[in-house]
Copies of this chain bind each other. A is one copy, B any other.
């Protein structure tokens, strides 16, 4: 007996004028999602709290049972995850800026004239090449993201995020020395590495030919927001389960890894419309048959469609997800396993943004109480027997169905 939790990113929506004031889920052809609703328990769920639009990191942390108000550990680490860098426990990540400094290190522009992403990529590549020949006693990874923004990750034993920023936050002041914020060897060592890196970056960047051409040369890297992966008690420890994650998105993989799930790679999973949904569901079914009690299957493109204001594409892609789900329902037995369907948040086709509206939820499987709900959408599910839940309640409910929640009291 296991649980397959299918999370379609941003699948929930508001009524859309072009769809006759119905939501994409109300319009799409979804016989298999509807079957889940029909045989299972339905409800709606506020991923974090009513009216609060969650980021994907926060929403999926909540769906995995961790209260983000308690566990959210800042952007440094999650931005690194979002930039596609992998983070392990103990790694320390920073948000960085390319900046312009004078010869004495005084900051003239904190964003190097908002250098273009293309030019920043050239400089970042130069940094990576130089890093390959250097030795800081730890592994150093540097990736630029958009314009002047970048991410730095230090990997290895004996690091600490308890160190200060080098970014002075204002122009006219010198790059700050990084100092340990606690009296530990780890913090002292990490601060020392950061200071050596700051000098190293200035050296590499100052001599780069590209910077000779720029009115505001990107000749320094400012670092701030040192962070580690949030310290979550792994789901395996909390519930005695073995769990897996199937997702194409670095940020989601990062959250799942932080929760102690094993990330299973699926060739063809792209995080876009062309993702191989069949391959993802097949991998999930394989996992349930091979020692995993819990599989978190994340599908991204529903969210992409809303961010792109692509009404027809969202309706179409929901139909594609439904077909892939149908294949899975043929291969699985709901007398044996639970199949759970939801979204991590509402993404509005009109605003193109994450919104704080609740999402539909269906839990089907051997001992889910069936209610009268026959359609999987935001309205139909709100009439189901689960009523209205919060995201953090989902995991205890699912683990309770598996008999994995310890009794509280006698």
Contact = CB atoms under 8 A, between A and B. Distances in A.
A51 B410 contact: no
Q: How large is the interface on A (under 10, 10 to 19, 20 to 34, 35 or more residues)?
A: 35 or more
Contacts of A378: 369, 385
Nearest to A397: B51
A23 B53 CA distance: 36
Contacts of A209: none
B382 A357 contact: no
A395 B251 contact: no
Interface stretch (A119-127, A319-327, A348-356): A348-356
A399 interface: yes
Interface in A366-410: 367-372, 378-379, 382-389, 393, 395-400, 403, 405-410
A310 to B, nearest CB: 18
Interface string A83-107: 0000000000000000000000000
A44 interface: yes
In this complex, which of A68, A367, A383 has the most chain B Cβ atoms within 10 angstroms of its Cβ? A367
A293 to B, nearest CB: 15
Interface in A51-66: 51-59
Contact of A400 (B52, B59, B75, B368): B52
Given A15-B370, A51-B398, A51-B400, A59 B387 contact: no
Contact of A409 (B72, B385, B389): B72
A61 to B, nearest CB: 8
Interface in A341-365: 348, 350-351, 353-357
A400 B389 CA distance: 18
Contacts of A399: 51
Contacts of A348: 367
A289 interface: no
B395 A51 contact: yes
Given A379-B385, A382-B384, A405 B44 contact: no
B44 A407 contact: no
Nearest to A356: B400
Contact of A382 (B225, B353, B385, B409): B385
A311 to B, nearest CB: 14
A49 interface: yes
Contacts of A372: 379
In this complex, which of A350, A372, A396 has the most chain B Cβ atoms within 10 angstroms of its Cβ? A396
A11 interface: no
A169 interface: no
A215 to B, nearest CB: 30
A144 B178 CA distance: 59
A377 to B, nearest CB: 9
A268 interface: no
Given A15-B369, A53-B406, A382-B387, 20 more contacts: A49-B396, A50-B389, A51-B396, A52-B408, A53-B400, A55-B409, A56-B409, A59-B409, A68-B409, A78-B410, A348-B367, A354-B407, A356-B396, A357-B400, A371-B382, A371-B383, A379-B385, A382-B386, A383-B383, A387-B388
